[in-house]
Each structure stands twice: as C-alpha cells, then as structure tokens.
Amino acid sequence: MLLRQNKWLAALVAAAGLIVAPDAQAGMVVYGLRDVYRLRFEEISFLILLLFLSALLLKLLWNYAAKGFSFLPRLKYLQALSAALLMGLVMLVILTMISGIREVLTPDAWRRQGSSYRLNDPSQEPSRRRSLEHLRGALLQYASAHAGRFPMHDFGADIPEKLWEAPDQAGSHYIYIGGLTTNNSTALLAVEPLNFGGMRFVMRTSGDIEQLPSAEIERLLVSKPAP
C-alpha cells in the first residue's frame, strides 16, 4: 500500500515538473504554440494539477477522519480522484444554472469585461461620456489644424494613447474609424468597445455624443460613408 502511494506521489511530482519546466534554449529554433493557446494550455495544466492535489488532500482528510469510525471505508487515491472530479462537475452545473437564472431574471444587466462580467450601472454613464468628451476635444483640435481631416489611425504621437482607452478595467480601446473629415457630420468617428453592452456611446464627426444600440452601430459601421 505504501509503495502504491509513493508511485502516485512520484507521478504527481513529475507532472508538476513538466508543467513548470522552462523552455529549453540550445541555440536552435524553438517552435511553440501561439501565445493565446499557450496561456490556455497553462491554465488547463494548472487545473489538472489542482485536481490531482485536491484528490490527494481529500484522500488524506477522509482516511484521517475515518480512523475513529470503524464503519467508514478507507479511500484509495483513484476513488478520491473520482469523488473530486464528480464534485467539481456538480459545482460546474450549479454555477451554470445560477448564471442562466441571473441572465433570465436580469436581461442585459451585465456586460462582458475581459474574462469576467460587470453590472451595467447607469451611474457609470457620466464617466463614460466624459471619457469620450476628452477624446473628442483632441480629435476636433487635430481636425482644425489639418483642414478638417481626422487622423488616419488611432496610433501615433498626435493623440495621447491614454485618450484612446475606454473607462473599463480591461483598458480596451475605442473603435475608431480613420480617414474621415468634418464634411460628413453624421458619420461615426469613435465607438465604445463591444464589452460595454447593448447600449454604447458613439461620437460622430460633428462632435455629437449619443447612445445607440449595438445593432444600429453595426449597421452604421457597415454602411460607412465616403470621407
């Protein structure tokens, strides 16, 4: 029995070593996964390792508590691993049900922000509008100095990088439509990112700021007018 436990512990230590081992550098070309896939692989590896450790902890705690109760069976590691996996699946189903009920009871009350969700709070709308107003001031100043033409892109030294950032935790950038002029005052110039929900603030080339549904924004962006 002790030999079997040692084998499982040795396997866990070897798996942990493979996960945290640095990339080999030997003066040759190293091929790896793209950054996004690499991060996902690291997350999955960490969860698998956490599952193995949780099963080991469950086995030790159960067997220690069962010493005073002769009618309780002793857990083997595979049994503890199966129990930990089953409890994890049950918790996943419960959390999914809670998330679904939340969406049904409060539709459009939450918006995605990065890997989490944030409540759509109407009290945040003044700060969102104010952030877009700061960008508007810089863009209109640029247009007045360049014969009514706005910047061709949203990266460069003409407009400070901080003004392109929307007021969210992820620091996402505004959607910018470059190459427009002040001649068409109804065209969309800057739009809040998708993670601001179904109603987003937009800025037109005239400087007007208003709130539009995402469907209307997509329609206006598809039918982009000529500069």
By the 10 Å C-beta count (0-12 exposed, 13-18 middle, 19+ buried), 222 is classed as exposed
- Higher pLDDT: 45 or 123? It is 45
> What gap in Å lies between CA 47 and CA 55, rounded to an integer?
12
Would you state the pLDDT for residue 21?
47
Average pLDDT over residues 24-49: 65
Whether pLDDT at 91 is above 60:
yes
**pTM of the predicted structure, to 2 decimals:** 0.51
Listed residue (191, 121, 118, 181) closest to 150, CA to CA: 181
Give the mean pLDDT of the chain.
78
Would you state the pLDDT for residue 70?
80
By the 10 Å C-beta count (0-12 exposed, 13-18 middle, 19+ buried), 163 is classed as middle
Local confidence band at 71 (pLDDT 50, 70, 90 cut-offs): confident
Would you state the pLDDT for residue 4?
52
Would you state the pLDDT for residue 69?
82
Tens digit of pLDDT for each residue in 162-184? 999 988 877 788 999 988 998 88
Tens digit of pLDDT for each residue in 185-220? 889 999 998 888 788 999 999 999 999 998 899 988
Q: What's the token pair of residue 220?
A: 């206006």
Average pLDDT over residues 42-57: 88
